[in-house]
Structure 1
Amino acid sequence: MHKGLTGVLAGAAALVAVGLAGEARGEAVTVIGGGMAEACSKAALDGEADLRFEKLCSQALETELLSPRDRAGTYVNRGVMKLRRMSWDTAIADFNQAIRIQPDLGEAYVNRGAAAIGGRRYADSLADLNRGLELGVDEPAKAYYNRALAHEGLDDPKSAYFDYQKAIELSPEWGLPREQLTRFTVTRR
């Protein structure tokens, strides 16, 4: 991951109701340097979803001179807020824009995958989640958790089980994957 003044990546949970056993999780991008883009980043990382914070992100995109990484991160952060409000298509539009600007930003792919899960397009989500994991994200446990949800949506409980396990391995203190595994019964043949 790139670390520096203009784009330290970090994750924040985006609550997305998907109608499965759990909720997809998104990741925000930290933008440093002051101004509205940084305030947008802080709001996304703090779990905000209110429209006033989304407007702050939009203002930053319209008026601030941002590096490509911070501009892409601001699109991701605005998209994460849209995920929290279950606005799948408009969130996907923001993640698409982030990917156009910064194609190596793993969080954009993971979040686009989460939005696809929210829209019950499970097969579509897998390619994005896999790409996000390939590129690297600050909180890969969330990507594995999302991929587990997608596998469950595709009636592939074995793959879902292993991805929940991986999420626990990467983030042992995070309770959601462990809760999901309580629904599984493992039998040996």
Structure 2
Amino acid sequence: MPRGLTLWLLAGAAALAAGAAQAAVTVIGGGAADACSRAAVTGESDRRSEGLCDLALETEPLNARDRAGTYVNRGVIRMRRAEYGRAIADFDQAVKIMPELGEGYVNRGAAYIGQQRYAESLAEIDRGLQFGVEEPAKAYYNRALANEGLEDARAAYFDYQKAIELAPTWTLPAEQLARFTVTRPAPRN
């Protein structure tokens, strides 16, 4: 944003109420882990989908990436039901198994947003972005929500802009940016 511009945010609580974006991990190869992955990717939140993840974790021989990804996916399903504590426990397991899995951190940050733990959320999302994630636009969107929670409208504005740049067809960041007004201050005499 050019120097001398002022940013105003309208109805900040509306964006936070919209909820954080979840980033699932694709697990392929059939079986319950694959079904759990598809459920997380397609937005499911029901107990049956969670049960598929449970079944995969309990019975399938998964490599470290797929086991960590299945924990992330189960956490995403739980987070959609606002079961933040249980979701965070899954993300903790995922990063314990595979510390370089960025989605584990980004989703833990999203769960922290649900708990209004905005500063902790920022740290988690930044760490996830450092490791890399399959859907970075969702990470920037979540970081924008956390910045709004911390009443940092300028940082939120730029994170929404980055989300749009990375995923131009995703409408949610643009909807949030519509609440912002950028004005030039009156010239001083």
Which TM-score applies when normalising by structure 2?
Answer: 0.88
Gaps of 5+ in 1: 1-17
Letter in 2 for 1:136: G
Displacement after TM superposition at 1:56 (Å) = 1.2
The reply to whether residue 97 of structure 1 matches residue 78 of structure 2 is: no
Cα distance in 2 for partners of 1:86, 1:141 equals 22
The residue aligned with 1:64 is 60
**What is the identity percentage for the equivalent residue pairs of Structure 1 and Structure 2?**
67
- Runs of 4 or more, structure 1, over 3 Å off, are none
Displacement after TM superposition at 1:23 (Å) = 1.8
Cα distance in 1 for partners of 2:26, 2:182 equals 39
Aligned positions, number: 172
Contact 1:21 1:180 in 2 (8 A): no
How do residues 16-55 of structure 1 correspond to structure 2 at under 5 angstroms? 20=16, 22-55=18-51
Contact 1:22 1:180 in 2 (8 A): no
The residue aligned with 1:178 is 174
The reply to whether residue 157 of structure 1 matches residue 138 of structure 2 is: no
The residue aligned with 2:129 is 133
Letter in 2 for 1:92: I
Which TM-score applies when normalising by structure 1?
Answer: 0.88
Cα distance in 1 for partners of 2:133, 2:60 equals 26
Tell me the C-alpha RMSD between the 2 structures. Answer: 1.2
The residue aligned with 1:122 is 118
Gaps of 5+ in 2: 1-13
Displacement after TM superposition at 1:188 (Å) = 2.9
Secondary structure of residue in 1 paired with 2:45: coil
Displacement after TM superposition at 1:34 (Å) = 1.6
Q: 1:77 aligns with which of 73, 98, 115?
A: 73
Q: 1:142 aligns with which of 138, 158, 167?
A: 138
Displacement after TM superposition at 1:53 (Å) = 0.9
Cα distance in 1 for partners of 2:17, 2:67 equals 34
Displacement after TM superposition at 1:101 (Å) = 0.1
